[in-house]
Amino acid sequence: MTRFAGAYDAGVAVVGMSNLVTFLQNTAAYRRALRISEYGDPTKDRDALVELSPITHVGKVKGPVLIVQGVSDPRVPAGEAIQIFETMKARGLATELILFGDEGHGVTKRPNRVQLIGHTLRFFESQLKLPSKP
């Protein structure tokens, strides 16, 4: 929805990293060394991480985005979802945020998955459904 803006009419982001620098700074300490070896060092590779971060390109978003995150996610901290949601809202872009207080990385509990499916269907229907002709 950022780098390939316009390729999709709407999107749903589940446990997405919005800023690779803050992601690496805030991910659980036991995971940080592994993620730095995978993505880059937030100090040495800062410029590249900023350029690759979706939040850098949020102004290019053309369609609405539903953002979903577990509050207790040790892999991708909830702050990643909140910061891109707030940035999109501040720019007047169409977005919604769903935080699951009893979830970690992903939506694994059956009642929450049911809710997520329902919200996803509602979101896509409201954003993509063509107006009916009189």
For the chain (134 residues), the mean pLDDT of every run of 10, in chain order, is: 91 96 92 92 96 96 97 95 97 97 97 98 91 70
> What pLDDT shows up at residue 12?
97
Measured in whole angstroms, the distance separating CA 44 from the mean position of its chain's CA atoms is 25
Query: Is 24:42 a contact under the CB 8 Å cutoff?
Result: yes
Q: Which tokens go with 8?
A: 């999709």
Give me the residue spans of the domains in the chain.
Answer: 11-18+58-128
Name the strands in the sheet holding 65-70, side by side, starting at the edge strand that comes first in the sequence. 11-14, 65-70, 95-100
> What pLDDT shows up at residue 85?
98
Say if pTM beats, i.e. exceeds, 0.75: yes
Bridge partners of residue 12, in order along the sequence: 66
How is 73-117 classified by DSSP, letter by letter?
-SSS-HHHHHHHHHHHHHTT--EEEEEETT-SSS--SHHHHHHHH
Q: Quick one: which of 102, 121, 120 has its CA closest to 112?
A: 102
> What pLDDT shows up at residue 28?
87
CATH 3.40.50.300 corresponds to the domain 11-18+58-128: no
> What pLDDT shows up at residue 57?
96
> What pLDDT shows up at residue 46?
97
> What pLDDT shows up at residue 3?
87
Cα–Cα dist 78/32, whole Å: 16
